[in-house]
């Protein structure tokens, strides 16, 4: 059987750094197949992806990835440790032998961090700072290892999830090249910019600024595809927050410490989504956590739904090598491989994916699940 390396991604949008990682992953793992486990229409920070999952998957296949499978909503729009765990489970299920990821410090000793992490999360019952900050300081004091860069944190999450599953995947961290994760400006000789900076230029309709930082196929995709942002969903969110009772809001996933009162009050006062975020923001709550809560309100996410275990493989796009890999694993994999969405699947497995994607469909009128099939590139 061919060997496969997995990459966990959002491709928001696919840029030169992603293309570099795919090539390095294939080389380091000696892999025949590169498989991306990609977030769907909403990403980890609680934002709508700038382009829908189909356009992003197609751009990835055109630029070096062989197979893109969807990371379900309940795995994608989560704090990093849950995001990582779900992604690693899918990588294992789809037949990956290895997992590769970008890291600011690829030589970081994950085994030491794993061995020294706290056993009980209630060691961090502090309300003046985010949980992640306190967790990272704890590890620094125990190990001397500074874990603060975004990709290092995700890398630790992947390593920890892999450890919990019995280390089924060999890990290949790749030194991150070019811009830092949250850089807002596009510059540098490597033509590798941050996704944030690329999105900023796209929002300004300045495609000339990004042409050296993305593959040609991504540039073409950007020029012809519908773009999403939170402002389009703000009226729906505001309505839900104002009209829902406090008791109903309290039932929403991760709605803790009375933040539902703050969300409701801020929705009444704010005239825009950015104003709303600034009204809600405190030292305790990061923008990412607030945005995730907002998505949970829109989609009506409850704990029993969001703590589901991955149980299916949903290919979004593949080339001939990706098709070959799917054919090799289809008789051995324990999970169904979903290529055509049915009403029964929506009811039992894909409900949150369907509901969250319908939000985008409402804005753009572009089908997201029903009548959509994997994109096949020759």
CB neighbour class for 290 (10 Å; exposed up to 12, middle 13-18, buried from 19):
buried
CA 88 to chain CA mean position, Å: 12
Question: Does residue 326 carry a pLDDT above 80?
Answer: yes
Q: Which two tokens stand for residue 370?
A: 């029903």
Is pLDDT above 80 for 312? yes
Is 9 assigned a ligand-binding role in the annotation? yes
Tell whether 14 is in a known binding site. yes
Residue 301 has pLDDT above 50, yes or no: yes
How far is residue 87's CA from residue 76's CA, in Å, rounded to a whole number?
Answer: 8
Query: Is 13 among the annotated ligand-binding positions?
Result: yes
Q: Which has more pLDDT, 181 or 83?
A: 83
In terms of DSSP bridges, do strands 67-71 and 375-376 run parallel, antiparallel, or are they unpaired?
unpaired
Q: Is the pLDDT of residue 124 over 60?
A: no
Structure tokens at 40: 């769907």
CA distance 129 to 106: 28
**In this prediction, what percent of the chain has a pLDDT beyond 70?**
94
Confirm whether residue 176 is marked as ligand binding: yes
Question: Quick one: pLDDT band at residue 184, thresholds 50, 70, 90?
Answer: low
Mean pLDDT value across residues 269-298: 96
Residue 315 bridge partners (DSSP): 69
SS3 call for 27: helix
- Is 101 annotated to bind a ligand? Reply is no
Q: Does residue 191 have a known ligand-binding role?
A: no
| Contacts with 139 (C-beta within 8 Å, 6 or more apart), sequence order | 113, 116, 117, 145, 147
All structural domains of the chain with their residue ranges: 4-224+310-376, 230-306
Residues 110, 145: Cα–Cα separation, whole Å? 10
CA dihedral 159, 165, 171, 176 (to 10 degrees): -40
Mean pLDDT of 20-40: 98
Residue 78 annotated as binding? Answer: no
Give pLDDT tens digits for 204-243: 999 999 999 999 999 999 999 999 999 999 999 999 999 9
User: Do residues 74 and 43 touch, judged by C-beta distance below 8 A?
Assistant: no
Is pLDDT of 126 > 70? no
pTM of the model: 0.94
Q: Is 151 marked within a binding site? A: yes
Q: Would the annotation count 289 as a binding residue?
A: no
Specify the range with the lowest mean pLDDT, choosing from 184-198, 202-216, 315-329. 184-198
For residue 68, the model assigns a pLDDT of: 99
Between CA 83 and CA 303 the distance in angstroms is 15
Say if residue 213 carries a ligand binding annotation: no
Residue 60 has pLDDT above 50, yes or no: yes
pLDDT band at 1, cuts 50/70/90? confident
11 appears as a binding residue in the annotation: yes
**Confidence band for 190, pLDDT divided at 50, 70 and 90:** confident
Using the predicted structure, report yes or no on whether residue 172 has a pLDDT greater than 90: yes
Residue 40 labelled as part of a binding site:
no
User: Mean of the pLDDT values across residues 132-137?
Assistant: 82
Cis peptide before 173 (omega within 30 of 0): no
Is residue 17 a known part of a binding site? yes
Q: Are 77 and 110 in contact (CB under 8 A)?
A: no
Distances (CA, A) of 228 to 87, 220, 222, 288, 361: 24, 17, 12, 17, 11
User: Is 20 annotated as belonging to a binding site?
Assistant: yes
Annotated binding residue 21:
yes
- Quote the crossing angle between the two packed helices 351-364 and 287-299, to the nearest 10°: 90
Question: Could you tell me the CATH superfamily of domain 4-224+310-376?
Answer: HUPs (3.40.50.620)
């Amino acid at each position: 059987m061919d060997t496969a390396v997995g990459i966990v991604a959002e491709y928001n949008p696919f840029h030169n750094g992603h293309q570099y990682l795919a090539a390095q992953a294939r080389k380091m793992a000696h892999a025949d197949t590169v498989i991306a486990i990609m977030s769907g229409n909403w990403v980890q920070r609680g934002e709508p992806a700038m382009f829908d999952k189909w356009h992003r998957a197609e751009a990835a296949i055109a630029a070096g990835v062989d197979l893109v499978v969807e990371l379900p909503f309940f795995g994608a729009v989560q704090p990093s440790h849950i995001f990582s765990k779900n992604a690693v489970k899918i990588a294992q299920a789809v037949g990956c032998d290895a997992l590769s990821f970008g890291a600011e410090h690829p030589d970081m000793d994950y085994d030491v961090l794993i061995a020294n992490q706290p056993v009980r999360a209630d060691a961090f019952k502090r309300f003046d700072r985010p949980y992640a900050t306190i967790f990272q300081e704890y590890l620094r004091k125990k190990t001397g290892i500074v874990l603060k860069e975004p990709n290092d944190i995700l890398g630790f999450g992947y390593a920890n999830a892999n450890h919990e599953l019995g280390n089924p995947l060999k890990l290949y961290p790749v030194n991150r090249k070019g811009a830092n994760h949250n850089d807002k400006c596009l510059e540098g000789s490597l033509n590798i910019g941050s996704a944030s900076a690329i999105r900023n230029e796209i929002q300004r309709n300045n495609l000339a600024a990004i042409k050296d930082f993305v593959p040609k196929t991504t540039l073409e995709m950007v020029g012809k595809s519908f773009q999403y942002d939170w402002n389009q969903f703000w009226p729906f969110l505001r309505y839900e927050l104002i009209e829902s009772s406090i008791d109903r809001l309290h039932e929403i996933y991760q709605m803790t410490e009375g933040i539902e009162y703050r969300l409701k009050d801020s929705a009444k006062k704010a005239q825009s989504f950015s104003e709303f975020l600034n009204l809600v923001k405190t030292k305790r709550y990061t923008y990412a956590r607030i945005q995730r809560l907002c998505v949970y309100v829109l989609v009506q996410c409850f704990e029993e739904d969001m703590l589901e275990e991955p149980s299916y493989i949903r290919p979004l796009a593949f080339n001939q090598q990706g098709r070959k890999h799917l054919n090799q694993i289809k008789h051995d994999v324990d999970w169904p491989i979903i290529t055509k969405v049915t009403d029964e699947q929506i009811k039992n497995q894909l409900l949150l994916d369907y509901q969250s994607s319908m939000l985008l469909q409402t804005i753009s009128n572009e089908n997201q699940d029903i009548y959509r099939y994997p994109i096949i590139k020759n």
